[in-house]
Amino acid sequence: MSSKVNKVLSKAKAAKAASGTLANLSTKEKNNAISLASKNINKFADKIIQINQQDIKKAKKNKINESFIDRMFLDKKRIGQISKSLMDVVRLDDPIGIMEDVKIRPNGMQVGKRRVPLGVIGAIFESRPNVAVEIASLCLKSGNSVVMRSGSDAHASAQILTEIFTDSIQKAGVPSDCIGFIDTKDRKAVNEMLKLSDYIDLVIPRGGSGLINLVKSQSRIPVVAGGIGVCHTYVDQNANLGIANDIVINAKTRRPSVCNTLDTILIHESIAEVFLQIIKDTLTKNNVTMHVDKEAKKILGNAKNIVNVKKADYSREWLSLDCSIKIVQSIDEAIHHINEIGSGHSEAIASNSHDAIQQFQNEVDASSIFVNVSTGFADGGEYGLGNEFGISTQKLHARGPMGLKELTSYKWIILGNGQVRD
């Protein structure tokens, strides 16, 4: 057995061994541990930045694009935000031990469900180092151990953050083995991790389509996948064009490199000429390249930031200041396009028509439907759920933002006083 396989296996075994202790910690014990980690991440900000700069330097040398580097970058402001995000987890209600759906049966038995941890979660994520401690804190608060594998580009940054986190929780009396970081960049480690069904109960990948598809095809462990966001905004013939412009610009330009960013604008043909002139100006001011169909090109004409759309562009999660634009003849065509091309993440409609809104809500297949609202709000915190592990585009176990409750299962508890069954 290779040393890399041994590393993954030993981390998974240790996480499994620690999971029993972790599952029975009090809320106070968990909160104290996360609070200390929050404090120490701020305390060691200079060290984190120094190591992050090494990752950034390597990424630039490897000619990684700027939006990707931005996701990796850490400074004191962002480290402060990471520290704050841990305290946000502390303030969340602890789901463990909560009784649900309690019923008194005719024979006097009490039957109900108690929230319990899933056990050990396998987390595989790409190069956003803050994700490491966000995942660690959510898993700890929900009573789960976790084995993590970071993307190679921000590996050192994610590792130092995890080391500070595990050192902190150990000082607070929590077994540090409950947080396992796979300290190798070898991609074979992912394949080995996905085989460990005896030790890992659920795998949650966070990243692009390549990572998601790899995990789905290789894993022997149940998978909750998400993160791929091919997101649309449909501008209906009855839309308030001012509102439509605002939500399109916000969804596209607020943070172009995140999964809830707008990728394709669908425009009803009856308002296309007017609306295209509006968004041409605002998208151009925000340095957005428009990939347009033939009908839109006739209206918009030639410009440096206007190019002909390719069929494959409609399926792209751009993660950049690019968007596709398509003119549709009806809301039915828009819905068909979304259901055929979309990833099931977040879809928006701009309209003042009750019938159009209801049809969009009923017929579009996605985890979140936005009505006259930017898809930029697709986020656990914005939904009132607190911090999230990711956004699931599946329908089993969890759909949409995965908060603390989505990191739990339940066991049935039956209380009686001597009842026997006939």
Determine the pLDDT at residue 383: 86
Tell me what the mean pLDDT of segment 371-400 comes to: 86
Determine the pLDDT at residue 212: 86
The CATH number linked to 101 is 3.40.605.10
Q: Does residue 78 share a domain with residue 197?
A: yes
Q: Is residue 392 part of a domain?
A: no
Determine the pLDDT at residue 387: 78
Q: Does residue 363 share a domain with residue 259?
A: yes
Q: Does residue 359 share a domain with residue 238?
A: yes
Determine the pLDDT at residue 50: 97
Q: In the predicted model, is pLDDT for residue 1 greater than 60?
A: no
Classified as helix, coil or strand, 324 is strand
Q: Is residue 272 part of a domain?
A: yes
Determine the pLDDT at residue 257: 79
Q: What radius of gyration do the chain's Cα atoms show?
A: 24
Task: Give CA–CA dist 22/30, Å, rounded.
Answer: 9
Determine the pLDDT at residue 3: 64
Determine the pLDDT at residue 287: 93
pLDDT in tens, 312-343: 999 998 988 999 999 999 999 999 999 999 98
Q: Does residue 205 share a domain with residue 66?
A: yes
Instruction: Yes or no: say if 330 and 272 are a contact pair by the CB < 8 Å rule.
Output: no
pLDDT in tens, 140-175: 999 999 999 998 899 999 999 999 999 999 999 999
Q: In the predicted model, is pLDDT for residue 394 greater than 60?
A: yes
Task: Give CA–CA dist 30/178, Å, rounded.
Answer: 12
Determine the pLDDT at residue 118: 97
Q: Is residue 393 part of a domain?
A: no
- This prediction has a pTM of 0.86
Which residues lie closer than 8 Å to 62 by C-beta, 6 or more apart? Answer: 153
The CATH number linked to 352 is 3.40.309.10
Tell me what the mean pLDDT of segment 11-26 comes to: 96
Confidence of residue 109 (pLDDT cuts 50, 70, 90): very high
Determine the pLDDT at residue 5: 64
- The type of residue at 160 is I
pLDDT in tens, 174-199: 999 999 999 888 888 899 999 999 99
Cα distance between the two ends of the chain = 55
- The type of residue at 100 is E
pLDDT in tens, 55-102: 999 999 988 888 788 889 999 999 999 999 999 999 999 999 999 999
DSSP H helices in 254-400? 272-285, 294-300, 331-341, 354-363
Dihedrals phi, psi of 306, to nearest 5 degrees: -120, 120
Determine the pLDDT at residue 152: 87
Tell me what the mean pLDDT of segment 4-23 comes to: 91
Confidence of residue 2 (pLDDT cuts 50, 70, 90): low
Task: Give CA–CA dist 324/308, Å, rounded.
Answer: 9
3-17, 36-50, 300-314, 398-412: least confident range: 3-17
Tell me what the mean pLDDT of segment 205-225 comes to: 88
Q: In the predicted model, is pLDDT for residue 263 greater than 90?
A: yes
Q: Does residue 263 share a domain with residue 168?
A: no
Instruction: Yes or no: say if 211 and 191 are a contact pair by the CB < 8 Å rule.
Output: no
Task: Give CA–CA dist 406/392, Å, rounded.
Answer: 10
Q: Does residue 192 share a domain with residue 87?
A: yes
Q: Does residue 181 share a domain with residue 296?
A: no
Q: Is residue 383 part of a domain?
A: no
Tell me what the mean pLDDT of segment 294-317 comes to: 92
Q: Does residue 279 share a domain with residue 186?
A: no
Domain that holds residue 24: 3-224+402-415
Q: In the predicted model, is pLDDT for residue 361 greater than 70?
A: yes
Domain tally for the chain?
2
Determine the pLDDT at residue 380: 82
Q: Is residue 202 part of a domain?
A: yes
- Check residues 137 and 188 and name the one with the higher pLDDT: 137
Tell me what the mean pLDDT of segment 228-235 comes to: 92
Tell me what the mean pLDDT of segment 238-246 comes to: 97
Which residues lie closer than 8 Å to 135 by C-beta, 6 or more apart? Answer: 123, 125, 146, 148, 389
Q: Is residue 389 part of a domain?
A: no
Q: Is residue 298 part of a domain?
A: yes
